[in-house]
Chains A and B, each alone.
Chain A
Amino acid sequence: MPKDEYQSRDFRVVGTRPIRPDGIDKVTGKARYGADISAPGMLWGAILRSPHAHARIKGIDTSKARAMKGVKAVITRADFTHQPEDADMADILDNCMAGDKARYDGHAVAAVAATSKSIARAALAAIEVDYEVLPHVTDVDEAMKPSAPVVETGRQQENVPEGYSENVTGRSQYGHGDPESGFEKADLIVERSFKTAATHQGYIEPHACLATLGSDGQGDLWVCTQGHYMVRNVCAGVLGLDAGQLRVTASEIGGGFGGKTHVWMEPTALMLARKSGKPVKLVMSRDEVFRATGPTASSSVDVKIGMTKDGTITGATASYRLQAGAYPGGIAFLSAMCGFAPYDLENVRTEGFEVMTNRPKAAAYRAPGAPMGAYPVESVIDELCQKLDLDPLETRLKNAAREGTKSSYGPTYPAIGLEATLNAAKSHPHWSAPLGPNQGRGVACGFWFNFGGDTCVSLMVNPDGTVSLSEGNPDIGGSRASMTMMAAEELGVPLDQVRTIIADTASLGQNEVTDGSRVTFAVGLATIKAARHAIQIMKERAAMTWGIDPEAVDWRDGAAHPAGPNAGKFPPMTIKEIAAIASNTGGPIAGHHEVNAEGAGVSFATHMVDTEVDPETGAVKVLRYTVFQDAGKAVHPDYVEGQFQGGAAQGIGWAINEEYIYGDDGRLQNAGFLDYRIPVASDLPMIEPVILEIPNPGHPYGVRGVGETSIVPPLAAIANSVSRAAGVRLTSLPMSPPKVLAALKAE
């Protein structure tokens, strides 16, 4: 697919702010989320979870539970008789239902289906598990030591150097040039170590699904997920079903942020449904969401950057160690790719270590790996600016990546928007606003790749000329609105003549998960192409009607127009007129497009934040926040702004208060919204979004993804702000009051 898709044009619909099509259902309570659906004869499922961080399962006695009235199925790992050959599938199965051992506090060990929630709960209590508790490790640095308890042996890749525990499953390296020679040219080198805590996506809707599965292998699954095709493929792989026999329908989704790009319990629901012969509804409690679905990784990072007095970065290295939870995999490689991506560097090297621990399997969280990639780098750049008395925005501009820059992770950039965000920041009134006592202003940049991937869209022209658009990606941030807008734009019809739905897995071809900020780009591209396909057919139908060559027909304003030598010879045929006679001109009209979308445009942001630190308590108050980000083209600016604001808010939580807290016993101590402290309304100021539009050359309208980049800069922006306000460099997240006060007192 060509990467020079972009063509400048005047938009009619794109760039406006219509009311979203799924809005009324959502403000009236009618929208149906994962737990909002029931089925006749439905049972309630429930999962028993390990209270131990690491324990061998010597036996499970389910006899008492089975004997209880109202209990219709009790399952353990022994009931999953299909053993997947694929290692990833085998890991997912083991994570959904523990095999020989429980690998973390909250690991599922058994499940029941019963006629009521309370019977299901009582049945769980009647299951007896014989555990042999094993030594555990939850800290990433501890887990890397050769003496650490090993979560699973035999999973280390060959790229891991000697001297590390088997918990270290992989190591990746990126960069170019020679940092050591670069450091020699520096006037100042700052080298520091940083830590970030594991944080949860914190979506308000717990995981939920409703499953049926017959002995013939035919099943249906209703589920809240960011990717129902992924759920289908994984469930089929784990259970040994034919993917085509399992139809998965995505419910409305109550937030995901990456946490719903994985399968945590759906095979369990299907297995309970098969064993009981009834539909089974399985809904996680909040406690289960925290203990048994993936937060993002915690990290431990060393960064070294050399800079000249005029602000040129001469050399840079970073070593990222991220704990991946109880299974191989991980996202340290993404940290290692993203950390220096905003800069044009001669000498840069990064490495990333993927480390297993006795924690839940780490999951994607909005630009996975990038926030902990950027935080240490942007912190050290800020410290260099402070010590060299340099302007932090000018210094970033001086080193900024631009078109033609070879990125720190390999590729050479096409047109990108980093400089535009920095220049917008520089000229914004926020930058020159006065600060009071105990206040500081921080800035930081961030990068995210943005994804493309497998995408299918079908666009049906109905007999009355209205349009039904089917896409296969759950709408997590207003994508039905943006698809409807792009289809209406391309077809030249009013917005209200298009309705977009999320089709089930039996209705479209494979679609990649809603992740990587891919949907507005990739599904948008497929929507535009599907519309063009339909337009081509409608032009042919008009040409046939007129008896002219289809090449001599133009499409504009929702109608076919005779063009060239035939211009003006016939009155235009509207989509409505063409649709009305479709049956007589060749049959129903539909466009479709199937693609592995390439050409996603990378995106950059600069964030600016003012904080005030209470010198007596260490409490941090966020006073003012401004986001500058390149959207490529903002299809629906309200929802672009919403992504900027939401990402910033999550970053604020990550920076100041959110963290997974484990006790010495390896148990999670704060598995609830009371002590896992996400920002509440009174914690935040208004968050001002500034949209820059530097078109992505790889999309017909110039669209880039916007959803994830906004969480990348906040960690460092706030750390820089707090460090300047407090007069002491903070190097560990979250910057909770006890930590800030201790740092102040240590000064």
Chain B
Amino acid sequence: MTSLEPTQMEQSCMRHEPEPPGEKVPRRKLLGWLVGVINLGVFAAIFTPTLRFIADPMRRKKGSDAWIPVIGDGEIAEGETRSVDYRVNVDDGYMVSPLRYSVFLHRSGGEVFAFSPTCPHLGCNVKFHSQNDRYICPCHGGVFSADGGRISGPPPHGLTKLPAKVENGQIWIQRV
């Protein structure tokens, strides 16, 4: 570092001209505002479209209401709960991805119920324990009954029920 003292040129610069008396808005202040407005405007013109661009995924609707066949009607017995895998093409940004998901199917009173395996607490996949007829989330210990209702643990509510129907000998679900 050289001298810490301001140079002559700097000193002469720091001695600002006194503002002429009688002016309501000093010139320095006015020009300062003008610079600020221009810079703000220019940056807004670049940043606003950029933010809209980045936020594009927020405009997309989640999931689709298409019915997806998962298994044959005869493959699940009364009172049984089982996990079934299925494949579905998902809009995945610039591509369409064939992804594999799973769903819990449960038959009770002749009717078929479908539950999303996603724990409503923080999104881990729950496991079904057939010996005590309970869904248990391995992450934080959420417990659900066979009909999807919440029993204990941190989840705020029961498992998400998905629309399910039996048609043409197949069980169909909707991912909503």
The yes or no verdict on A and B being binding partners is: no
Which residues of B are in contact with A by a Cβ distance under 8 Å? none
